[in-house]
Amino acid sequence: MKYKVAIITVSDKGSKGEREDLSGKVIEEMVSSWAEVVSYKIVPDEKEEIKQSILEATPKADLILTNGGTGLHPRDVTPAATREVIEKEVPGIAEAMRWEGYKKTKTAILSRAVAGIRGKTLIINLPGSPKAVRESLEVIMDALPHAIDKIKGDPSECGR
């Protein structure tokens, strides 16, 4: 069974059609072997629109991957929007992405990305650049199916 993934790209320029969404395409390509993209949306860097997009995608997706809006710019509000809709944070995911990213790009530690759960859906903030998206997903990809299964209530033992 393939998992269901929603992609939400957060970009002022992308939402106006002024920039091609290369990061969303990287996500789609990287998850295609084990997941089906059931929703894909580009929204501006507006907290309420990001929250609404996450809430709309939650019932139809096992995993929501946002990209963009995780930095230090005043318009980077994706983590704040995500925190307002998640019920439980999963800090190890964002910590791993920052730590491994730092080994390649020192500014990766400036990411404010968060990961968490709403209902039976895992929500993860990814950076905005295609390179950073690829590097971040490479770090966490192997753990995602297990995480999704656990969120859905898989009773099997974790320490095998």
**What's the pTM?**
0.96
β 88-89/115-118 pair status = antiparallel
Condensed to tens digits (0 to 9), the pLDDT of residues 68-124 reads: 999 999 999 999 999 999 999 999 999 999 999 999 999 999 999 999 999 999 999
133 Cβ contact list (under 8 Å, min separation 6): 23, 26, 27, 67, 126, 127
